[in-house]
Amino acid sequence: MKVKYFAWVRERVGKAEEIIEPPATVRTVEELIAWLSARSEAYAYAFEKPKVIRTAIDHAHVKADAAIAGAREIAFFPPMTGG
């Protein structure tokens, strides 16, 4: 699946997007965040406060317990500040 990062999440991870293949045991958004956090210090820094991170699956907002099965694109970003 494709993963995208925006704003300070992108800056901390150090890339705007990537293709990832998490193991089948990673089933929800919060499990994916934990799995990503374990990859490196950059990811751990980006996701150090997982409750602050907002997630979208295929362009729609989802909660941390949302299932990631079948997702084409998952995006992680801080709370929005547009308008």
Partner 1 sequence: MISPVTTCPVAIRIQEDDFDIAREIAVLTKGRTDIGAVVSFSGICRADEDSSDIAALTLEHYPGMAEEEIKRHVDEAMSRWPLSGVTVIHRVGRFEPGQNIVLVLTASQHRRGAFEAGEFLMDYLKTSAPFWKKEESATGTGWVEAHARDDEAAARWTKS
Contact footprint for partner 1 (CB under 8 A): 4, 6-8, 56, 59-61, 75, 77-83
Q: How far is CA 6 from the centre of its chain?
A: 10
Rounded least distance, CB 37 to partner 1, Å = 20
Between 16 and 34, CB nearer to partner 1: 16
Rounded least distance, CB 2 to partner 1, Å = 12
Query: β-pairing, 17-19 with 54-57?
Result: unpaired
Between 38 and 80, CB nearer to partner 1: 80
Between 44 and 80, CB nearer to partner 1: 80
Among candidates 58, 72, 81, which has minimal Cα distance to 8?
Answer: 81
Residue 19 to residue 71: CA distance in whole angstroms: 12
Rounded least distance, CB 80 to partner 1, Å = 6
- Identify the residue whose tokens are 């308008």: 83
